[in-house]
Structure 1
Amino acid sequence: MIKLMLVDDHEVVRMGLVSLFELYPNFKVVGQASTEEEAVSKAMELKPDLIIMDVKLAILGQAKHNNGISACREIKEILPDTKIIMLSSFADDELIYESILAGASGYLLKGVDSKELITSIEKAAQGKAILDPDITDKVFKSMRKISKQHIILNELTNQEKEVLKLLSLGKSNKEIALEMVLSEKTIRNYVSQILAKLEVSNRFEAANYAVKNKLFDFDKDMS
């Protein structure tokens, strides 16, 4: 018997899930919640095997936030063995990564087929990671992109990283040399090495590559 808890700010969604799970004798819904606070409180009280958690929960008088993810993180800190599947209407990269980092066992879209949902719950209860088929390719592409970014950054020396960052902020070789207290000739050599490692033709392509692939936190550097 898998004890389930449902967390969604729409009662009709929760009731629909309850009706579905009543068709399966190996599932039992032991509790429901509609807010982050209620979810954490009831999880501590009921200690379910698995929680189906909406990513965005309403807060009275406010716009929806990603507090389902916050609830997931808090519950996993208290009940590390409880599995949590995030259920969302949004196939958003950031939400998926935040959910995984918060400790979720899976991320499914609300349009998921009922049989797929049941299978996913059974797999998650066994400790397996679950991703909606419609977002799996998207996630892996993003993961490969992130992996490539890490490889590139690891190939650059600390000095080259600093030169690339300043170059990407639109600074000239002279300005970079002054800031790093190095000669312009040294900076030119660094730029040549950076172009070779990034496999680009000029400094503008290098800057565009760094910005496009978010190699640095430029907002923080310019604040």
Structure 2
Amino acid sequence: MSTKNILIIEDHPLVYNSYLAAFKTIESKFTDYKFVINISENCDDAIKKINESVNNCKIDLVLLDISIPPSNDKLYLSGEDIGVYLKEVLPDSKIIVLTTFNDNFRIYSIIQNLNPDGFLVKNDVTIEILMEAINKVISYQTFYSQSVLELGRKIIAQPYVVDKIDRQMIYEISKGAKMSELPKKIPMSIGGLERRKRNLKDIFGLEQSNTDRELIEKAEEIGFL
């Protein structure tokens, strides 16, 4: 019997309990597997569990929600930041992203930044689909749900990917920070940050004359906040 260490990063008990049920069903149907499961409901706890795993037992599979509470130090603002960190310190761990986002640009950004082994839009997910995804990914295959595949067909080549600095800038502006204050919070010049803001307005389909408030509203609409 093969033991697999699982980390579920999800802040809604109803959702992660459904994931636990899926793992339990897999164990009962396929006696090849035994799952040791931990749950993190926020970025701070997720980072703690990942760091503990670096020197102890590895994490075989992570079920990763993108919209989770940020870390207290604001270094990790979402599950996407956690996924990037996980790939740095535990590159052999498999990742299944589960998200409510269904905007094609947001999906594209997650794929480019994380290249997950599995990707499911939560509206697609039944316990059968989740079990199929888990079984395929732990067997070194990939699994993308129907919505992700359909959105992927709509994605054209993008010259710019929203990265951690962009997401941090969006977050700080959403909390009321002025552009002149951002270099104290983000290690970049005001000129570099202004260029990034212009790029974000372009890729979000906004005019350069649109206000910071309108930028934040658009970022929130497509899932970057």
TM-score, structure 2 length as denominator? Answer: 0.58
What is the letter of the counterpart of residue 122 of structure 2?
K
Instruction: Please state if 1:108 is matched with 2:115.
Output: no
Is the 1:56–1:88 Cα contact (8 Å) retained in structure 2? yes
What is the letter of the counterpart of residue 108 of structure 1?
L
What is the letter of the counterpart of residue 23 of structure 1?
T
| 2:157 partner SS | helix
Pair member with larger Rg: 1
Instruction: Please state if 1:123 is matched with 2:121.
Output: no
Show the counterpart of 2:153: 140
Where is the helix percentage greater, Structure 1 or Structure 2?
1
What stretches of structure 1 move > 3 A for 4+ residues in a row? none
Is the 1:87–1:108 Cα contact (8 Å) retained in structure 2? yes
CA distance in 1, matches of 2:140, 2:110: 16
TM-score, structure 1 length as denominator? Answer: 0.58
Q: Map 1:24-35 onto structure 2 (within 5 A).
A: 24-25=26-27, 26-35=33-42
- Unmatched tracts of structure 1, length 5 or more: 150-212
- Unmatched tracts of structure 2, length 5 or more: 28-32, 160-201, 209-225
Instruction: Please state if 1:74 is matched with 2:85.
Output: yes
Structure ranking higher on relative contact order (CA contacts 8 Å, 6+ apart): 2
Is the 2:5–2:60 Cα contact (8 Å) retained in structure 1? yes
Show the counterpart of 1:54: 65
CA distance in 1, matches of 2:34, 2:98: 18
Change (3 A) 1:78 1:27: same
Bigger shift: residues 132-141 or 49-58: 132-141
For the aligned residue pairs, the C-alpha RMSD in angstroms reads 3.2
Bigger shift: residues 78-87 or 52-61: 52-61
Count residues with an aligned counterpart.
Answer: 151
